Structure 1
């Protein structure tokens, strides 16, 4: 008679229903344990967010008041439709779309290589200026 071994319990084939019940019970227990861990993690996250709520709201209020002061003192206002139209027409005049459309693939590749070169020199200069490869010394 063939028998099955599961967690140190010897079950024969005639006891197959008990074997599946033991297996189902152990799986259910594992799932319940994992879901309990997830629930605890979510509760911890919720308490951390609740603890940070007051400082976040305070800092948002400070930033809002600061923006109001700057807006008043600098006499700022959103651009009018005439100003937006003027900027759009100026941009169209300065960009020569015919010239851009007539460039060859070689010209685009050359522009890309030059751009990468300029960006590389910029980043190398940043590293030299910081005297560190990562971040600023604060």
Structure 2
């Protein structure tokens, strides 16, 4: 045998051996969920999501990371302020002892609505579906007129088109 035949032979490699892990996949997943929920409780939803984003995108190349970070940069303030509004609303509900309306509240609101509809001369109305299209159009126009008068009044009262004068 020549040296050429020996040098062209396939290199001897070690066979790939898969070792069993000490934890199953379900245990790892449940541990990850527990870590995520504890992070959300301790840091807040926005910070936890930002940390998760940084963890997930750290191995990605820069060509993918930069456009993705621009998109996340847009949604981060939205997430933050929605979380602020949620917590503020929760405090208001607790302090003012607000209760969600029940069926009786909806029924009384519906009867009051029908009394108003009868007052503005819409006759024989048993449900909202019975109102003719022409009356819907007239109501929409009146609503637009009233709201535009309100906006014009606000502008005149502020003496400025946008915001208040300093």
TM-score range, shorter chain: 0.3 to 0.5
Q: Which has the higher strand share?
A: 1
TM superposition score normalised by structure 1: 0.45
Higher RCO (CA 8 Å, separation ≥ 6 residues): 2
Q: Which has the higher helix share?
A: 1
